[in-house]
Amino acid sequence: MIRSAVAGNIELAELDLVNRQIIFVIAGFAVVLITAAIDYHLWSSISNLLYWGMFLLLGVLSVVGAALFGSARWFDTGIILIQPSELAKIVIILALADFFTRHQARIGELIWVSRSFLLAMGIVFWILVQPNLSTSIVILVIWFAMLWASGLRFKHLVLFAGAGVVVPIAGFPFLADYQKLRIINFIFPDPNARHGDIYNIQQALITIGSGGWFGKGYQHGSQVQLRFLKVRHSDFIFSAMAEEFGFVGTALVMILLLFVIYRCLRAARFSRDTYGALICYGVATLLAFQAIVNIGVNLNLVPATGLTLPFVSYGGSAMLSLLLGIGLVESVILRHKSLEF
């Protein structure tokens, strides 16, 4: 799909995105095998080191990061761009899994719930500074899902539900201008607009609709090949798939993603301990939330974000981080019961 999305675009072709992604995928499978071979309990012993290392890395990034598209999210190595916030998603899963495992008996106390929130906010703060609101929301969703799996009390759930309504409204004035525009254009779209702030969403809907049931065929989508659809190799690759493979093709991709998520949840159920189960729940939440939001953006069901479609969109940092998460789940399921001799 990346090859089809960048076809005919000289600027993107010069970046050799297809071969780069192939390299990232091969490296990612190596990461899966290596991570699966390592006993996942090792990460518990170094979770604090990983957390503070990521905290410092994101802090340095806010000072020296390569500023692209209005935000400092990448380290520019001269060869590739590295996005630490993608790896931060996995680090926070490991850190929270360790925290909730060690303090599971105290999760019923609000003070320990608050401590877990502050733990997540230590990473979220630096990501918000970039600014990168979408990744910050992903990490907070992971925190809440793992907190829920750890035994969150109903009275605290009601409290968080109220905060979930108040905080977004109170925080709106502090968002970056482009973030405010995305929300405003989503809530109050201009039906007569043909360009500008809602152009990408309009083209995405046209692209999806033109695919019909079975699509126009690989590399035969007019919206994609004539480049009306923008950011089609990353944020809007779902729309590109819909035009070329139709409803049936995109439904198959969604079923495959659901199968991977189900297997992560199954690994959590069979885990021999709470720590392993929470790792699997965290990875499942990450995959599910990113997939739902990315597809929702393409269908104009949620405001535009920068979240990519797991395993499909272009992005080396995202691919390696997600496959690292899969490796962790593999490690858990490989050790779901004690060895018998």
The pLDDT value recorded for residue 207 is 92
The pLDDT value recorded for residue 51 is 94
Question: Could you report the per-residue pLDDT of 116-157, keeping only the tens digit for each?
Answer: 999 999 999 888 887 788 889 999 999 999 998 888 777 667
Q: Mean pLDDT throughout 160-188? A: 68
Q: Mean pLDDT throughout 177-205? A: 72
Label residue 10 by pLDDT band (50, 70, 90): low
Label residue 184 by pLDDT band (50, 70, 90): confident
State phi, psi for 311 to the nearest 5 degrees.
Answer: 70, -5
CA angle 120, 125, 129 (to 5 degrees): 150
Q: Which domain holds residue 281?
A: 2-334
Q: Is residue 341 part of a domain?
A: no
The number of distinct structural domains making up the chain is 1
Determine what percent of the chain is predicted with pLDDT higher than 70.
81
Q: Is residue 150 part of a domain?
A: yes
3-class SS string, the chain: CHHHHHCCCHHHHHCCHHHHHHHHHHHHHHHHHHHHHCCCHHHHHCHHHHHHHHHHHHHHHHHHCEEECCEEEEEECCCCEECHHHHHHHHHHHHHHHHHHHCHHHCCCHHHHHHHHHHHHHHHHHHHHCCCHHHHHHHHHHHHHHHHHCCCCHHHHHHHHHHHHHHHHHHHHHCCHHHHHHHHHHHCCCCCCCCHHHHHHHHHHHHHHHHCCCCCCCCCCHHHHCCCCCCCCCCCHHHHHHHHHHHHHHHHHHHHHHHHHHHHHHHHHHCCCHHHHHHHHHHHHHHHHHHHHHHHHHCCCCCCCCCCCCCCCCCHHHHHHHHHHHHHHHHHHHCCCCCCC
Q: Mean pLDDT throughout 85-114? A: 89
Q: Mean pLDDT throughout 182-209? A: 76
Question: Could you report the per-residue pLDDT of 50-92, keeping only the tens digit for each?
Answer: 999 999 988 888 776 544 444 566 666 666 677 888 899 999 9
| β-pair partners for 66 | 74
What are the angstrom distances between the C-alpha of 265 and each of 23, 139, 268, 285, 295?
29, 18, 5, 9, 21
The pLDDT value recorded for residue 152 is 78
Q: Is residue 50 part of a domain?
A: yes
State phi, psi for 242 to the nearest 5 degrees.
Answer: -65, -40
The pLDDT value recorded for residue 70 is 47
Q: Is residue 330 part of a domain?
A: yes
Does the pLDDT of residue 42 top 50, yes or no?
yes
- 253 vs 174, higher pLDDT: 253
Does the pLDDT of residue 40 top 60, yes or no?
yes
The pLDDT value recorded for residue 176 is 67
- 257 vs 128, higher pLDDT: 257
Q: Is residue 156 part of a domain?
A: yes
Q: Is residue 267 part of a domain?
A: yes
Question: Could you report the per-residue pLDDT of 276-322, keeping only the tens digit for each?
Answer: 999 999 999 999 999 999 999 999 888 888 889 999 999 888 999 99
Does the pLDDT of residue 335 top 90, yes or no?
no
The pLDDT value recorded for residue 323 is 96
Q: Is residue 328 part of a domain?
A: yes
Does the pLDDT of residue 237 top 50, yes or no?
yes
Q: How far apart are the C-alpha atoms of 203 and 185, rounded to whole Å?
A: 15
Average pLDDT of the chain to the nearest whole number: 85
Which region among 13-22, 99-108, 156-165, 324-333 has the lowest average model confidence (pLDDT)? 156-165
Q: Is residue 298 part of a domain?
A: yes
- 71 vs 7, higher pLDDT: 7
CB 127 within 8 A of CB 142: no
